[in-house]
Structure 1
């Protein structure tokens, strides 16, 4: 990973990553103008817990598979080649559909250093940490958790 003429260049294999219980997270850029990552989810796996951002727009581009999003109170299925922009303040949650896995490119703008958040989320998904450990970090990572129990049941 390096800069060339002020541009960030991440070559294959240079990105930092962390494993999830049902997938993997690859950090491409953390902070600055954007935070960018690639998220791979196993069939039916959830991405992040229900949340909203106060500062950032969150953008998803589905590289492969099919994602299920809850945007406010609306469930939306988005397949390969689909694109979603979530504005600040909108409660949302996402995951791969029950019949398929997903590979998705995610950008948050403005960028806020969130890699620590994703490492902690990975540890929680693997049973190595408790979800409550993220509660005091909500402002730091601009990730404010929402109470949306059984979000997939609304379908």
Structure 2
């Protein structure tokens, strides 16, 4: 199965800076992928883990600060990071410039509904506790991280 998503055809969620590329329904269940743009000082995701999915980060531009386990690392343009299932992680733009990142999750559940729900929460149309209730549906489980809180 060949999947081609043209830039002008991808759905972009303006409040969150997420461009939806291909979900598991588009890829025969193989993966889900999106691109995100983070303004300086903007948190991309609080600490969470995926029980089933591995998550790949590829930095297209800028610098991204990432929690992986209990380590903080900075990724720069061209850097690649793979976070295995069960590993707590979080991320945010670092430095004074916008960070742009390609994300790919393998062995993932459908995720586009999750990103649309987040968009609704960013716009104030959905309460954050409603987002938290979807953890099993989207394999996105929020966790506590003293390392992230103290960064």
- When normalised by structure 1's length, the TM-score is 0.88
- Mapping of residues 1-155 of structure 1, within 5 Å: 6-20=1-15, 23-31=16-24, 32-148=29-145, 151=148, 153-154=150-151
Report the Cα distance in structure 2 between the residues aligned to 1:131 and 1:74, rounded to whole angstroms: 26
Moved more, 44-53 or 63-72: 44-53
Report the Cα distance in structure 1 between the residues aligned to 2:58 and 2:139, rounded to whole angstroms: 21
- SS of structure 2 residue aligned to 1:47: strand
Report the Cα distance in structure 2 between the residues aligned to 1:41 and 1:27, rounded to whole angstroms: 15
Structure 2 residue runs of 5 or longer lacking an equivalent are: none
User: Which contiguous aligned blocks of 4+ residues in structure 1 show a shift greater than 4 angstroms?
Assistant: none
- When normalised by structure 2's length, the TM-score is 0.90
